[in-house]
Each structure stands twice: as structure tokens, then as C-alpha cells.
Structure 1
Amino acid sequence: MDLGTLFEFACERHPHYEALVEENTRLSYQELNREIDRLASGLQALGIKQGDRVVLVLKNRLEMVTLYWAVQKIGAVFTPINFRLSPEEIKYCVQDAGAAAVVYEPVSEHAVREAIHELKTLKIGVQGAQGVDVTYGELQKKGTGKPDRPQIHDGDVCLMLYTSGTTGRPKGVPRTHLNEYSAAVAHIVQNQYEVQESTIGVMPLYHTMGMRSLLSMAFLNGKLVMTPDYSAETVLQALDQEKITCVYLVPTIFHDLVYHPNFAKYNLSPLKKLGYAGAAMTKALTEEIIKKLRPEIFVNHYGSSEVYTFSICNYLDKKPGCAGKAGFHQRIRIVVPDPDGHSTPDDLVPAGIPGEIIVDLRSSEAFQGYWNRPDATKKAIRDGWYFTGDMGMIDQEGDLYVLGRVDDMIISGGENIHPLEVEDVVAKHPKVAEVAVVGLPDTRWGEIVTAFIVPKDPSLTVEELDEYCRDSHQLSNFKRPRKYVLVSAIPKSPVGKILRRKLRSGEYEELIMKRESAS
């Protein structure tokens, strides 16, 4: 079974259900399928064939969705990348993928044209982008209206996601029809979605979370509402007007929504099913979401582009921040952490002791290796297990807590300290909007725990923060920050992951503060 065929099944089941919405455009499943067939046929007329990689450098817009399904129907490989990438990064991805075509729009036009001007790659333009070989409108007219459907196997690659590359060159993650189908089914089961749900297409379609929203809605004849230009107000308006029933977002967006000054004026009562992933969520934000949105289902999904689900937790009211137990297709272990990649799946650590999280690669959601990167594959995949690079701990009830990256662990005076446990305490201070904790070099301690804080209230002082942490019963004294830095913003990746390396290297804007450090 392949994804394009599964989409056609959905179109036959409920042809008149609303499928895709963007501003004033509303397409039923029947109308959307016709549009997709024209595009698929057009791509074939231009010489795009089964197995070819098609790179897309687009915002989350209607054309991104239609081209996704068109690529699936002809057996090509949908290869989306961040539209904010630099020309050098785009060139790397296009060449690494061996792309047969690149699709871009005005916002990415300059970077794409600079990146590929020497490459013999077909250029397809959306929304009036210049310098193209064919426009989106022309593509619709190129074909016969129905594509020639090749024989597609569930082990064929249908998608390649590029990891964010926060620690080096981005890595291509090839995913098969079976991988994507299984991940969508797991997402539906784990979030308890039903037929004709509706969601908002705000998570990037170059990210695994965006893909899950796209596929789960299609398989359930749900409605996907696209928002090419993100703002918290735009999302709140769409949630209200479209009566959205479920969302799957990063914590940063939840934060933007529940703390928005106009939050109370929107009716979000149909929104009953919430899921988050991509980064840790503080206890303070978890509690605010429960209080303001009153979800019936609230799921922390922990996973990756490589293996969609590691674990899920749907009892966040009882255990905020918990990652729960292994997902629908999965099992997990905690092993001795080794940044050099020498630990094995048998190097287990007992409950209550931090270690590296590893997951079973026999999951039908799991990839089997990186694209053109045998070095990265060898480090990440050992003896049938995927070594995530994440630190975690299993509690006495068998629940997983994620403690950050192996590389993020702070070693101060010989003690191991994990940033998230410190962040959870600092985040509860009423004058703190956001916090990120890292270890900075120190001649005496090796590293000192340093808290970078975006103030909610400009009157916030270092003295207040240090007194708050000192008086906290949740934080051992050796874990208390020894330095506080007030900053204008916490550096993050496009999907909301804190870029701690930028804080370590001084890439932030410091605010005026009354004292440099805490004693």
C-alpha cells in the first residue's frame, strides 16, 4: 500500500468533505484530488519520474500540500527544506539529495536562485516567483489530467526530511511509504483522533510534526487549515473561525497562544485534543494550558524525524513534563551515556539513574539510515537500536523523563546536572517569561550552571531570582544557577528547540542588569 492510493481511498469515501482551507480558498476532497492529478501529470510531462527527489523551499501553503500528494502519486520523493535557509545551505541540500527539481516562492527566491544557478535542476515557481522554468499554473496545464501511476512498494522512499543541523551539516532522513503510513496511524491512535477532525497547518511541512498533521487529517477525511504567515493572532483567529478540534504544536506556539493578550476574546471550545513535541515543556506552561484550554486529551509526544514515536504521555495533569511510556510501535531503553558512541544496547542503567535513551529500530515507523552519511548512520544505529543522543531517566513507575541532550549535560564540581530540572524551577518565577540553562566554562568548577532569562516584568532582578532558587524545595543547592543573564530572546531553531550552543558562544542580546552574577 502506498500513500497516494490511501489518499484516493479517502477521496472516494467522503468526496464532499472539506479537505484543505487557506484564506478564501476551500477545497473538498474531490476538488483537491482533481488538482493533485493535474499537478502529478504535469510533473511527469516535465520528466519527473519515480524515485526522483523534488526539493521544495516553500512556506506552509496550499501549493505545498497539493505538490506533496502529486509527488506521492508518481512515486517521487518529497524533499522539503526550510525556506529560511541560506544559499549555501540550500545548495548543500539540493546537491546532497541529487534533486531533479526545486520548487520555490518569492520569499525563498533570492536564496534558491543564488544556490542553484550553476546546477542543472528544473525550477518550478509558486506565487509568482521569478527565474523559473515553469510556473505552478503552467504545471497544471502540462499534463493530461491523470498521471500514469507506477507500481509503488511500501518499502520505497516517499519522503526525505533534512534534520535541523544544529550541530553540523543537515542529515537527510529517507522515509518509506510504510514508515509514513505507520507514523500516521500511530499519531491517530496516540492522540485519539476520529473521522472528520480538523487541525491547523502551522507546523512546518519540512518537519516531522507538520507531516503528521497532514497525513492524519487526510486518512481521517479531516480538514487542514493552512497558515503561510505565522502569528499567534492569526492562529487564534483560525482556531476560532474554523472550529478546530485538534492541534499538534511545539511548546513555543502554545506559549504564544495562551499568553496572548487577546486570548480570552476567542472561542476555542471545540479544541479538545492537544499534542506537543519538538522540545521540552515546562511545568508552568503545562499547567497554564490545562487551566486555559481545558483539553480532554493532552499528549506529550517524544520522537524524531528518524523514528517518529519514542514515547507518549497522556497524563500530564498528574505528571507535567513526563514523556510517559514507549509508543504504539516502540520500546525504549536507558543506557550508559557516551558522546563518542561506544556504549551498547546492553549497557543498561537502573531506574532513577540518568542515561542515554535508545529505541528499537524494528518499529515500522523507523528509518534505516541517513542519506549519504555512513558515518552518522554508524554512530546512531547499533545492534538494531537507534541511539537518540538524548538523556533520560525512568522513574519507579516506569515512566520516562527526558533530561536534554547528552551534549547538554552540565558537569559542575563533578556533579551531573541536567538543564531541564533547573529550568522547571526558574520558569515558575512570576516575572520570568522564558528560561534556558547551560553550563559555562569555569576555572574552579569546570562548568557553572548559568540561567539565561527573558523577563516578563522589566523590574526582575538577579537578586530576586537567586533568592527564589535558593528557597526552592525542588532544587538542590549544587544545582542552583551561579550566574543569571537577562536576555531579549532565547535563540531557537525554526521548530522551537533551544539552541544552547548559541548561548554558550555568546550569540544573544543581553539586557541591562543590576548584578553580573549570583554568589
Structure 2
Amino acid sequence: MPARLVALRLPPERFLDELDRVWSDGDAVLPLSTTAPAATLQRTLRALRPALLRRLDDAGDLVDEPLADAPPIADGTALVVATSGSTGQPKGVVLPHEVLQASTAASTARLGCEPGERWLLALPIHHVAGIQIVLRSRALGTEPDVTPPGGDDLGDSEAQHVSLVPTQLTRLLEAGVDLSRFRTVLLGGARPEPALLDAAREAGVPVVVSYGMTETAGGCVYDGRPLDGVEVDVTGDGDGRIRVRGPLLATGYRTRRGTQPLVDEDGWFVTGDHGRLRQDGTLEVFGRVDDVIVSGGINVPAPTVASALRTHPQVLDVAVAGRPDPEWGEAVVAVIVPRDPDAPPTLDELREHVRREYPASYAPRDLVVVAALPRDAMGKLPRAAVKLLAE
């Protein structure tokens, strides 16, 4: 019987049981969020075309819904993970078992994990980072501990390792949670601010900063150094696009006609991020290549402006985007969450704050104050949503 793609929309405990069942049948898994809106779910199903949707009904029983028009899936495929990237359009990253095994082995070796140690699952199971926690645990002969829903309460787990995103780490530090009890706090999902890393290390948190994406089966660079077997390069001279080569790369993207290749003829996957290689060989990641606002003919990197604004004492969270402007082409807009909703900073205060360190062109020309930013479960900000807020 040909391999099928089975979509699982289940809470973590049930998901793990069904993951084993699907894999033992020789099929592949499409993990789905249990909290995503119905429109998002349907958009993902239409784009990635699984053969079956397995979910819980209102009584808590498993239900299988056969779906029509499912393209074939290659034997040996473990996962097809939905990623929206910067466009919001679902893409299915095809990850074979051998790629996941290579990633797990390289990760546990670099972190010095010992047999019998456990990982705490505090990330969404429908992301590759969440599934990697399961695989690392099993490689050590254990099962992961699972946090309460939300991922911001680590409970009383005695696990030795945990993966977090910067938003979680920020909240846990502010809540006074003792993270020094872990042997590893693997931090990924988004580029952390230097101030956050300083605060964590001052609190004795053993942070390891991970860089990677779904296409690299999760983190493939730890603290700037590629995992064993992984090559990292930067295109062009000096700053450029980051590219990756090695056994941790996905096969490609799932389409109606099969799998669209991921790598070029030399085996390189060219990411959408830009960075540089320092003199000591470590990788420094700047952010998305296309996350640049062209204002008055000057390229203004949005992540740099956001980092500057985040150091303002009245700013709790911030995003930066461009808004069409008849004079400047694009205007830099700051979308902020104030620490005190009743006393947000003014635009003039924020402009002056940015100009202390960066050119005047980096200073925001407009300000939007919101109660919260639309971060996803991995702490990332969909740029389409931020742009709508800015406009």
C-alpha cells in the first residue's frame, strides 16, 4: 500500500500515541495546531492535501476523515510541516526519517545529553521544534515531560533540558522562575535581543542560542557554530544571504505534482536570512533579507529599529514595519505595546531614543499603540499582520 500523509490535529499526549501509530504503518504525519482558526485549518488542508485528517470529536473520541485528491507521498517521509514563512501562504516542508535522525543525533551530541535524561516539552507539537523535543527524549530512552497549556508555566518538572522561544524566556524571567535548574535552555524560533541574553545569563540560565528553520529540521547552528556535518556559508562578500548544506536539510516542498526541490545543484539551501561569518568562524544572524524599509532612498533594517525601541524603558514589546508614503516612499512605523497602557511613550520620545544610536532615517515617523502584538505560538510576528497594523 502506498504511503499516505495523515494530518493529526490532537493535543500533545494523544498526538504522541498517534505519531507512533502512523509511523509504524509506514505513513507520514502532517501536524496541525489544535487552536488555529477554522479558516487557517482549511487553508492548510487545501494547500498540503493530506489523505486523512485524524482529530477528536466532541466526546473526545478519535475520528478519521478521509480527504480527496491527495498527492502521493514518498516512502520514508516522516513529516510534512506547514510553514507560512513571510507570505502567510502555507508551504509543506517534507522531512524524511533519516533527516530527523541526523538532526537528533547532532543536537544531543553537541549538547552533551546523557542516556536517561529528559526534555520538557514547552513548545507547540505542530512545529518541528516541538517534535524534535520528542525525538531527543526518545534518543535518550525517555519520554518528554509536557507543560501545562500555554508553555509559560514549566510546572515542577525535573527534566534536564528545555527548549524555549525568546517570548517565553522573557516572561519566565520576569515571573522569577528559576531556570538555572536546567542543564540546557535551548533558545530558538526568533533572534533574541542581547539584553535578554544578558539578563538570562546573569540569572544563571544555561542558554544555548539556536538558529535554524523548518527546512533545516529545526536548529542547525548552536551559539553561532554549525552542528557536526552541517556547512554554513554567506553569499557574496561580507554581509549576505545565509546558506546551509548537509544531512539536516528537508527534501523539499510538497506540491500537487510531487516534491519541489529545496537545494541548488551544489546542495546548498539559500535561506531568506542575512548575516555574516565573524573572524572566529561563528555565524551572526541579522534577520530577514526582505525585512527592510526603503525610506527616502535609504534602506532601513526593521529589526535594528525594533531592537533600539525595545530598550526604551516604557516599551514592553515592539514591531516595526513600513507604510506607503507619498513623500518618502515608505515611512517607518513603530507598533508598540507600552509597559503602562495609561502612559505610553510619545512618538517624539521614541524618535529621540532611536536617534541616540542610529541615523535620523531610522527614527519612526509614525506610532501605533496596541495592547498586544499578534505573535504566533513560536513567538514570531507574521509580517503581514504587523504591516496591517502599521497601515
Deviation, structure 1 residue 268: 4.3
Deviation, structure 1 residue 178: 0.5
Per-residue CA distance 1:184-234 (angstroms, 9 max, x = gap): 1122123332222222222112111001100001111234112362252xx
Alignment of 1:97-496 (within 5 A): 97-105=48-56, 128-129=60-61, 132=63, 156-164=76-84, 166-227=86-147, 229-230=149-150, 232=152, 235-236=153-154, 238=155, 241-260=156-175, 263=176, 267-292=178-203, 294-296=204-206, 298-308=207-217, 311-314=220-223, 324-335=224-235, 348=236, 350-351=237-238, 353=239, 355-360=240-245, 363-372=246-255, 377=260, 381-383=263-265, 384-458=267-341, 459-462=343-346, 463-472=348-357, 475-496=358-379
Structure 1 residues 163 and 200, CA gap change in structure 2 (3 angstroms): same
Deviation, structure 1 residue 403: 2.4
Identity %: 28
Structure 1 residues 246 and 84, CA gap change in structure 2 (3 angstroms): same
Cα contact 2:350–2:363 (8 A) shared by 1? no
Corresponding residue SS for 1:274: strand
The structure where helix makes up a greater share of residues is 1
Structure 1 residues 499 and 446, CA gap change in structure 2 (3 angstroms): same
Structure 1 residues 375 and 484, CA gap change in structure 2 (3 angstroms): farther
Cα contact 1:197–1:223 (8 A) shared by 2? no
TM-score (norm 2): 0.87
Cα contact 2:123–2:130 (8 A) shared by 1? yes
Q: How many residues align?
A: 380
Deviation, structure 1 residue 167: 0.9
> Which residue of 55, 60, 79 corresponds with 2:30?
79
Cα contact 2:295–2:330 (8 A) shared by 1? yes
Query: How far, CA to CA, are the matches of 1:451 and 1:133 in structure 2?
Result: 46
Query: How far, CA to CA, are the matches of 2:64 and 2:274 in structure 1?
Result: 47
Cα contact 2:220–2:248 (8 A) shared by 1? no
Deviation, structure 1 residue 480: 2.7
Query: How far, CA to CA, are the matches of 1:443 and 1:377 in structure 2?
Result: 40
Query: How far, CA to CA, are the matches of 1:433 and 1:275 in structure 2?
Result: 23
The structure where strand makes up a greater share of residues is 2
Corresponding residue SS for 1:430: coil
Structure 1 residues 415 and 327, CA gap change in structure 2 (3 angstroms): farther
Structure 1 residues 424 and 169, CA gap change in structure 2 (3 angstroms): closer
Per-residue CA distance 1:124-168 (angstroms, 9 max, x = gap): xxx6258x369xxxxxxxxxxxxxxxxxxx971121111135514
Deviation, structure 1 residue 312: 2.5
What is the RMSD computed on CA atoms of the aligned residues? 2.8
Cα contact 1:283–1:424 (8 A) shared by 2? no
Query: How far, CA to CA, are the matches of 1:396 and 1:270 in structure 2?
Result: 34
Query: How far, CA to CA, are the matches of 1:98 and 1:373 in structure 2?
Result: 8
